[in-house]
């Protein structure tokens, strides 16, 4: 192939001094190009930045602005200062929904950090037919929310699989109200979230486990360490950064949970709305003919702040680990 002068220069071979052309540009050396502008990198970033600004930043700023108004759907609002925030703090529904969201996070995150790791360790074992299990564990991730909802309703309803089996073997005398009690509904939704998330985070851990040097395990085995000791002394420290990442991602997902509550608990969000999470409340407040856009935006900002707190917490933990 014949190199054009430009290509040759791009490969750093035009002058034969081995100096990369990037160095020329950085120092403003004689490249035949006009003097380097500070905004050149931004020009390259512009298309991406434009997308971020249009689809993330602007809606976010819009949400912040609207949260200080009494706007409604298709109806302009006027500025009301911090009224929406004051209303939220005095609203029992807000505190109930926040409590449910935080409880969701407190239960789901440890499960989604630990169980997929255990699962990943198990399915890494090379035995015949293990591919089937890896695929099976991943199936819930790609299953549609509607299908998942139907399956779990059949499993958990008063005359569903779990209640029927437990009643037959005499473990319970009457059906457990998995779907008709606010707290039990929340627990049922958590089970669905964990069930759906297992396979997803298992893949993360499989990637992390692939980077753990086999020599470490072999050395430890030679020193007499058993599988349990090797797991806690080698595997866990090696995949700790991944555990923190999974913890942060699952915490964000847990705070945004909506679908599981909706498909199991209906439009009202459980009996009397007692299983509503913050995203559920935001949707309920913001949509419909009498939807209160301003108040819903204020609730969204509060949810954002809550998510930010947990994300920063995850980051701090991660930094502490690095140190």
Partner 1 sequence: MTRSQLTRTALATLVAGSLLSLSACGLGGAGDTKEAEKTGRVAGEITFRTLQLKPVYTGYVQGVIDSFERKYPDVKVKWEDVPGDGYNEKLVADAQAGALPDVVNLSTDSFQLLGDRGMLADVATLDAAVAKDYVPGAWEQFRLPGKGDGVYAYPWYVTPEILTYNQDLFRQAGLDADKPPTTVEQFFDYAEQIAARSGGRYSAFMADPKGRLPGDWQKMGVPLLNASRDRFTFDTDKAVAWAERMKDLYAKGAMPKESLLKADDINQLYGGGKLVFGPGSPGFVKDIRLNAPQVYAQTRVAGAVTGTLGHIGIYAQSLGIRKDTRHPDAAAEFAKWVTNGPNQVEFSKKATIYPSNAKGLADPYFSDRGDGKDAETLARAIGAGQLATADLDANTPVEWTSQVGDAVAREMQKAVKGDEDPRTAVRKAQEEANRLLAAAVRK
Distance separating alpha carbons of residues 301 and 57, to the nearest angstrom: 13
Is 53 or 209 the residue whose CB approaches partner 1 more closely?
53
Does 232 bind partner 1 (CB under 8 A)? Our answer is: no
Tell me if 139 contacts partner 1 by CB under 8 A. no
List 177, 203, 225, 317, residue binding partner 1 (CB under 8 A): 177
Q: Choose which of 268, 306, 311, 318 interacts with partner 1 (CB under 8 A).
A: 268
* DSSP conformation class of 226: -
φ/ψ of 227, rounded to 5, equals -60, -40
Quick one: which of 18, 32, 76, 131 contacts partner 1 (CB under 8 A)? 76
Angle of helix 92-124 relative to helix 293-322, nearest 10 degrees, comes to 40
- When binding is defined by CB under 8 A, the residue of 77, 187, 256, 311 that contacts partner 1 is 77
DSSP string, 46-106: HHHHHHHIIIIIHHHHHHHHHTTB--BTTB---B-TTHHHHHHHT-HHHHHHHHHHHHHHH
**Residue 74 in contact with partner 1, rule: CB under 8 A:** yes
Residue 69 near partner 1 by CB under 8 A: yes
Using the rule CB under 8 A, give the single segment among 24-32, 219-227, 286-294, 313-321 that binds partner 1: 286-294
311 interacts with partner 1 by CB under 8 A: no
Cα separations in angstroms, 281 against 71, 94, 123, 221, 244: 17, 8, 39, 53, 29
Q: Per rule CB under 8 A, is residue 279 in the interface with partner 1? A: no
Q: What is the dihedral of CA 87, 88, 89, 94, to 10 degrees?
A: 140
**Site residues (CB under 8 A) for partner 1?**
38, 53, 57-58, 61-62, 64-66, 69-78, 153, 157-158, 175, 177, 179-180, 265-268, 270-273, 284, 287-292
């Amino acid at each position: 192939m014949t190199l054009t002068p430009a290509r040759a220069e791009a490969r750093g071979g035009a002058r034969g001094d081995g100096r990369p052309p990037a160095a020329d540009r950085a120092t403003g050396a004689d490249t035949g190009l006009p003097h380097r502008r500070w905004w050149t990198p931004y020009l390259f970033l512009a298309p991406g930045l434009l997308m971020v600004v249009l689809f993330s930043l602007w809606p976010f700023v819009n949400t912040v602005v609207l949260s200080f108004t009494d706007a409604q759907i298709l109806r302009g609002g006027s500025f009301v200062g911090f009224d929406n925030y004051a209303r939220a703090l005095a609203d029992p529904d807000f505190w109930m929904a926040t409590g449910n969201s935080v409880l969701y996070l407190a239960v789901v995150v440890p499960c989604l950090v630990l169980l997929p790791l255990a699962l990943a360790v198990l399915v890494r074992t090379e035995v015949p037919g293990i591919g089937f299990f890896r695929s099976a564990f991943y199936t819930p991730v790609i299953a549609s929310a509607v299908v998942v909802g139907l399956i779990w309703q059949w499993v958990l309803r008063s005359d569903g699989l779990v209640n029927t089996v437990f009643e037959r073997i005499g473990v319970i005398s009457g059906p457990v109200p998995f779907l008709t009690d606010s707290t039990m509904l929340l627990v049922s939704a958590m089970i669905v979230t964990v069930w759906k998330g297992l396979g997803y985070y298992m893949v993360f851990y499989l990637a992390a486990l692939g980077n753990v040097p086999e020599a470490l395990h072999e050395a430890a085995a030679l020193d007499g360490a058993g599988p349990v000791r090797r797991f806690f002394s080698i595997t866990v420290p090696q995949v700790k950064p991944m555990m923190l990442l999974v913890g942060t991602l699952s915490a964000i997902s847990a705070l945004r949970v909506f679908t599981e509550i909706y498909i199991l608990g209906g439009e009202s969000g459980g009996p009397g709305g007692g299983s509503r999470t913050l995203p559920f409340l935001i949707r309920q407040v913001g949509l419909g003919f009498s939807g209160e856009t301003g108040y819903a935006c204020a609730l969204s900002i509060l949810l954002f702040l809550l998510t930010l707190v947990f994300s920063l917490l995850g980051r701090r933990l991660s930094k502490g680990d690095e140190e």
